[in-house]
Structure formats: C-alpha cells, structure tokens
Amino acid sequence: MNAREWLRTLVAFDTTSRNSNLGMIEAIRDALAAQGVASELTYAPEGGKANLFATLPAHDGAVQGGIILSGHTDVVPVDGQDWDSDPFCLTEKDGRLYGRGTADMKGYIAVALALVPEFLALKRAKPLHLAFSYDEEVGCLGAPVMLEALKRRGLRAEGCVVGEPTGMRVVVAHKGMNLYRCRVHGKAAHSSLTPRGCNAIEYAARLICRVRDLADEFRSRGPYDDCFDVPFTTMGTNLIAGGIAVNTIPDACEFSYEFRNLPGMSPDEIQGRIEAYIQDDLLPRMRRDHDAARIEIEAMPAAVPSLEASERDAVTRLARALTGDRGTAKVSYGTEGGQFQNAGIPAVICGPGHIEQAHRADEFIEIAQLDACEAFLRRLAGSLAG
C-alpha cells in the first residue's frame, strides 16, 4: 500500500484514547510480519492497548544502533465537533486529506509503513526501528512501557525522530508538562457557626492564588527563551470542585493545577516551592481552625518531560542535513521526545502536517506534506546505507 492507502486504513480505526488501539496495532503487526518483519508488542497494565516496536535489521543482521521512527497511535475525541465529513473515513478535497489523526499523527505512521518495502530492499549498514505507542494524548503513558522493554532487551539506538506535525521543520525543544491533583481537607459546620469549621474552599483558594503568584513571577522575571511562542514557564489551575450547600462550611475541596516548564528548569524545584508554602504557611493557619486539617497532593501520571536536543547529537545533525532546516524551532506542546531523551536516546521532532490542524474539527493534512515526509524518510534510510 502507498502512504495514502495506509492513511485511509489507519484513520478508519477509531483509536480515540478512551478506546483500545489493538485493532490498529495488530493490523500493523500483521502487515509487517507479511514482509518478514517481527514486532514486539508491550501492553498497557489493563491489557486493552499496546505499543509496537519493530526492527528492520542492517544488511548484516545487526539490530543495535540506527534510528527510531516514533509515532503515537491514539487520537483525541471528535465529540461535540462539527465535521463536514466522517472523521473516521479519509476524505480528499483540494489537495488535502481530511480525517481524525491525519495530522496528529497517523500521516507520519502511514508514510513510514508505506516505505517499509523500500527500506527492506536498501542495503543498510544500520538498522531502522519503528516505535508506535498508545495513550500519548492523555499524558504519554505508553512510551515509558515500551522504553522499559527496550532497556530490558539491551537494545540501543543512536537517535529518534518523533513525527509530530511540524510542517517538516526540525523542532529541537519543547516544554515539560506536570499535572497535580490537590485535595484540601477541613471541617464542616453550619455556616452560622463559622468559627467552628475549617473552610476547605477558602484555603484551597489561598493555594490556588499561590500557584498564580508563581505564574506571574515566571512571566515577569523569567527565565525566558524567546524561541518559544510563550517564552516562559506557565502555571494554572483549570479544574476545581468543592462544597455541598450554600449554608454549609465545606470540609473538602479538590482542584488540579499544571505547569509547563522550560527545558532546564527543574519541575521538582517548582513543585517544591508550592509544597514549602503549604508546610510553612498554609497548614499552620488551617490547623488553628482544625487540628486535623490536611492537604494531599498527588502527582498525576500524565507528566511529560521537556526536550532539549543538542546540536551535537547525530540525529539533530542528520535531520538538519536532510531537511536543510537551520532554524531554531521550539514548541510549547509536549511529545514523547523527552521520554526517549531521558532513556538515553537523543531525539528531535520532525513530521508532516501542522499542529494548527490537530485536535480540531475537519483535521487535515496536505498531500504535499506527505510527499515531503516520504522524501525525508527515503533520504534518512539512505543515510543509514552509508
């Protein structure tokens, strides 16, 4: 199948993150097996989803080294979006291919799969690897499972190209994403007896304001990196719940906050400032109202480490040489690139399509972008032939 045919096949699988991706993964596994390529599947804890990792060995059978082509198989929901066509049926119009996941990022996967026969026919001195993950859209949950399996196998790679939509530009950095759930526990009382209670909502509000104060500090004082569209670390509280009645002092309040840190800024240090405020200021004040008051903070698994590729890394130099892109592009959204980097595999982001088309109704990818990606991956494979 060519790239367009593969993309039609992949889009037809509704791999919204709440669903299983096994149908799509198994179709890819079977297609690779028919070409003599074995795949390793690593499953999510509940078993309903899987990653796929496959190696196209070098001409001498070597499987170590080489380059990983990485993409995620899950997509975001279409609920409430007004589409002009069926989001799970590839539709062509005016040089564009419409469908959920066309840009983010089944287009890249389709191109890689379409080129497998060419890759296999090429006498490569180094292997080429395919890495397709689950649950990237809900916090990059699948890639760590796959990377741990690679570590156990002792498989090493020289670099990774994550094919998120960049318009085929080379993106060398992105922010980290860190998400926390906070539960504030006070003491309920009738609102006419306010001094006998401990108002969890009000103390949660103080902590939320502290998060905002830190956000304002980063905005006004930095550090800054002007290569990002938002050049500083951001923070915010985006979800809150608490209270049962207007005449009852609430004994519980729960909220979630996130921060997206610039590469080089320690997430632990940022979170440490929040926890220091809780221990040194907020809890002592709460316990003057109620000695059993407490605050619980839970780090959510949907944490994405930042990425900052080195210009000295072989994969960065290779991507720049193959694309001719010498600019410094950095993005605020997260990818699995930081996870590969933390596992000792240098990574860059370079893929077809544009992030502006992702996640929206009538998501599309330009056919010209698929063609550019094909040319890029052909040159990449050719570079492995020495």
Catalytic residues: 74, 136
Burial classification of residue 44, based on how many CB atoms lie within 10 Å of its CB (0-12 exposed, 13-18 middle, 19 or more buried) = middle
- The C-alpha atoms of residue 272 and residue 254 are separated, in whole angstroms, by 19
β pairing state of 234-242 and 176-185: unpaired
Report the sign of the C-alpha dihedral through residues 115, 170, 7, 343, in that order. Answer: positive
E strand residue ranges, 73-158: 91-93, 96-98, 128-133
Element housing 141 (H / E): none
The amino acid at 128: L
Instruction: Identify whether the C-beta of residue 377 lies closer than 8 Å to the C-beta of residue 318.
Output: no
Nearest C-alpha neighbor of 58 from the set 384, 383, 382: 384
Spatial distance between the Cα atoms of 249 and 244, rounded to a whole number of angstroms:
9
Q: What is the DSSP string of 109-131?
A: HHHHHHTHHHHHHS--SS-EEEE
Measured CA to CA, the distance from residue 63 to residue 71 in angstroms comes to: 20
Backbone angles phi, psi at 254, to 5 degrees: -125, 135
* DSSP category for residue 94: T
**What span, in angstroms and rounded, lies between the C-alpha atoms of 138 and 128?**
27
Q: Decide: helix, strand or coil at residue 5.
A: helix
**Residue appearing with tokens 């544009």:** 354
Print burial letters for 122-155: b (CB count within 10 Å at least 16), e (below 16).
Answer: bebebbbbbbbbbbbbebbbbbbbbbeebeeeeb
